[in-house]
Amino acid sequence: MQIAVTTFGGDGGKSGISRYIIQLLREFGRAGVDNIYDIFLYGKERDIFLGDTGDAGRLSRLRGREFSDSMANPVRNIFWHQVGLPGIMRRSR
């Protein structure tokens, strides 16, 4: 199964939401199932959310999909989550 996770509400690792996402991704990486996880994140936050995911086999299941920091603009971010992300999901099934 292919699963998408967005970290855009994560506040760069500073908030409780960030800590939850980091732990969730760590456990996804450890899971013994064959799921593939597409992680949508800002490029500057890659190490925060994917930096400690375990060995190469685990990391291969967590694929970072990086976006420009310009997406941090609230209007762009909301638009992207309401229009852009659903379009990506439809195309990738």
Mean residue pLDDT of the chain comes to 83
Instruction: Report the range out of 6-10, 17-21, 49-53, 68-72 with the highest average pLDDT.
Output: 17-21
pTM score, whole prediction: 0.79
Query: Are 46 and 64 spatial neighbours (Cβ–Cβ below 8 Å)?
Result: yes
- List, for residues 54-72, the tens digit of each pLDDT value: 555 556 788 888 988 888 8
Query: Residue 83: is its pLDDT beyond 70?
Result: yes
Cα–Cα distance measured from residue 80 to residue 86, given in angstroms and rounded to the nearest whole number: 9
pLDDT at 55: 53
91, pLDDT greater than 60: yes
CA 58 to chain CA centroid, nearest Å: 15
